[in-house]
Amino acid sequence: MEVSKAHRPVFHFRPPKNWMNDPNGPMYYNGIYHLFYQYNPYGSVWGNIVWAHSFSTDLINWIPLKPALYASKPFDINGTWSGSATILPGNKPVILYTGIDEQNKQVQNIAFPKDLNDPLLQEWIKPDYNPVITPTPDMNASFFRDPTEGWRGPDGHWRVLVGNRKGNRGLALLYRSRDFIHWTKAKHPLHSSADTGMWECPDFFPVSSDGSQEGLEASVRGDGVKHVLKVSLDHTRFEYYTIGHYLYEKDRYIPDKSYADNSTGLRYDYGNFYASKTFFDAKNKRRILWGWANESDLNTTDTAKGWAGIQTVPRRLWLDENGKQLRQWPIKELETLRLHQVKMNDVSIRKGNSVEIKGITAAQADVEVTFHLPSLSDVRLEPFDPSWSVDPQRLCGEKPSTVGGELGPFGLLTLASENLEEYTAVFFRVFDAKPKPVVLMCSGGIRSSISEEMYKPSFGGFVDVDLSDRKITLRSLIDHSVVESFAAGGKTCITSRVYPKLAEGSNAHLFAFNSGAETIKVKHLKAWNMGSPRMN
Ligand code: DQQ
């Protein structure tokens, strides 16, 4: 079937056609980056799931290979679901994945490259001794999936996590092994949390706590190291993470008290982003995050267009120097796609005005902007109601870009039609609160398309930023039906999937705007046309 080019992202990872969901088993091996993903070879809705496979030498240009794993054995005959890769000693990659077996039970299987001399690792063998981990009789075998990468404890034994649900408690079950093949369930889960439902796609990894952006390999432990646990909640379709301590002797993870350990917790991305997974890039000593951004249109539209699902751009991820949250930034390689550049400096925008950024392909662009704010002691700010703090998305819905405030809303109107019938607003609003002002970031909204039949949320997240220097930065990657934004150097990230009817392709425009009573200034703005990499 023909694949429709309308709204099709160009520099975001996607297969040549059909349905894609979770990123699986990302790894760097002998100079090559691999990405596997949940894929339907026969259509553009979820089903018939295999592990599709692509490789790259720069994480930007991708070449497809044939599927690495597909249903073929009693232990995965009903599907090869999500999982992870681990590089074992002796430089031997291995995959653990969830198989849906003959009885529709979820079991964990192992697979090895058929030929380690094949630099592309094209063929994978699933030994007949699979499954290597099975649900115990007291478990619900429909909630037992998505094994993590393995790491080694102080005793030299391997550990992995498997996502699970007991009642409405979400759990990260812990398994241990000497040889990566024979696994024993630990008495206690590594961690669990009440009322969070099924924990899909758990991810557990160390981060440097000394302010360095360097990533750490999964088994690193000791001083200067904290750990992150991320889970994907199937009932909200959002993820959250906590930062905490891994007690190696007890094999328990204790999140720091300051974090909500439930669906109100911190997120990598406050928008359309799910089933994410990180890996350690040994070449550049960094941890890289992949996440799936689903379509927001209708299934029938996906069927007609012949494709559905993208991955957000690979993002470097590290612990902020304040130790309180993670930061993310598109990997530097993405900048190799930057082509023609336009600039704007020192442009003041008064209430109700917008300024067009001309001269770029606004449907396929990278924009970096620094807004300069008036002195906060000289302005009135909207008061912040503390009850708003639990649901920034709702607040963005109630206060869209058209609802004027005092300081803000101001920001970008991306994928905008010439006369602004359509636009995806990415913007800030500053509220008065103690001990410091609250900054809200929003993205998306009802105006993103004149077409009514789709999900058009206005996503929101708070930005923990110090405004004493009177500046706030925003970067937005715009790619036809994706607006992926990073505020304050990657402190808050929001991805929106949008489907403009008027502002498509060469009809798309880009504006900076301000609807707040206070004048703001675009101190610096740079925008680039983005090139088109080889994308599968
Ligand atoms: N997707 C996979 C599951 C996982 C879910 C199936 C998360 O393994 O729990 O395609 O999106």
14-38 pLDDT tens trace: 999 999 999 999 999 999 999 999 9
Q: Mean pLDDT over all residues of the chain?
A: 97
Ligand 1 proximity of 205 Cβ (cutoff 6 Å): no
Residue 91: C-alpha distances to residues 29, 73, 113, 126, 177 (Å): 8, 27, 12, 19, 18
3-state secondary structure of 277: strand
* Residue type at position 53: H
CB of residue 145 inside a 6 A radius of ligand 1: yes
Residue 436 CB-half CA count within 13 A = 9
Residues of the chain with pLDDT > 90, as a percent, come to 96
pLDDT at 314 over 70: yes
Ligand 1 pocket, 200 CB below 6 A?
yes
C-alpha–C-alpha distance, residues 501 and 511, integer Å: 18
Is 80 exceeded by the pLDDT of residue 2? no
Ligand 1 atom with minimal separation from the 82 CA: 8
Q: Which residue minimizes the CA distance to atom 9 of ligand 1?
A: 200
Ligand 1 centroid to residue 200 C-alpha, Å: 7
* Mutation to probe ligand 1, out of 48, 200, 239 (largest number of atoms < 8 A from CB): 200
The finding on whether 201 has its CB within 6 A of some atom of ligand 1 is yes
The 10s digit of each residue's pLDDT in 393-450 is 999 999 999 999 999 999 999 999 999 999 999 999 999 999 999 999 999 999 999 9
Q: What is the pLDDT of residue 1?
A: 64
> Tokens in use for 522?
């675009």
Q: In the 8-state DSSP scheme, what is residue 535? A: B
Catalytic residue among 22, 146, 269, 297: 22
* CATH (one of 3.40.50.300, 3.10.20.310, 2.60.120.560, 3.30.750.24) for 338-530: 2.60.120.560
Q: What is the token pair recorded at 302?
A: 């996906």
| Chain segment 469-497, per-residue pLDDT in tens | 999 999 999 999 999 999 999 999 999 99
User: Does position 86 have pLDDT exceeding 80, yes or no?
Assistant: yes
Is the pLDDT confidence value at 514 over 90?
yes
Active site residue 22: yes
Pick from 18, 73, 74, 79: nearest CA to 49: 79
Percentage with pLDDT > 70 across the chain: 100
* C-beta of 49 in contact with ligand 1 (< 6 A): yes
Tell me which of 3.30.413.10, 3.40.50.10540, 3.40.47.10, 2.115.10.20 is the CATH number of domain 18-332.
Answer: 2.115.10.20
CA distance linking residue 501 with residue 506, whole number of Å? 12
77 has a pLDDT exceeding 80: yes
Q: Is 162 in the pocket of ligand 1 (CB under 6 A)?
A: no
Does the pLDDT at position 247 exceed 70? yes
- Segment 194-237, tens digit of pLDDT: 999 999 999 999 999 998 999 999 999 999 999 999 999 999 99
Domain boundaries defined on the chain = 18-332, 338-530
pLDDT score recorded for residue 453: 85
Q: In the predicted model, what is the mean pLDDT of residues 378-383?
A: 94
- 337 three-class SS: helix
Give the CB-side neighbour count of residue 45, counting CA atoms within 13 A.
Answer: 8
**Exposed/middle/buried for 273, CB within 10 Å: 0-12, 13-18, 19+?**
buried
Q: What is the mean pLDDT of residues 133-155?
A: 97
- Per-residue confidence (pLDDT) for residue 523, from 0 to 100: 98
* DSSP 3-state of 264: coil
254 Cα to the center of ligand 1, angstroms: 26
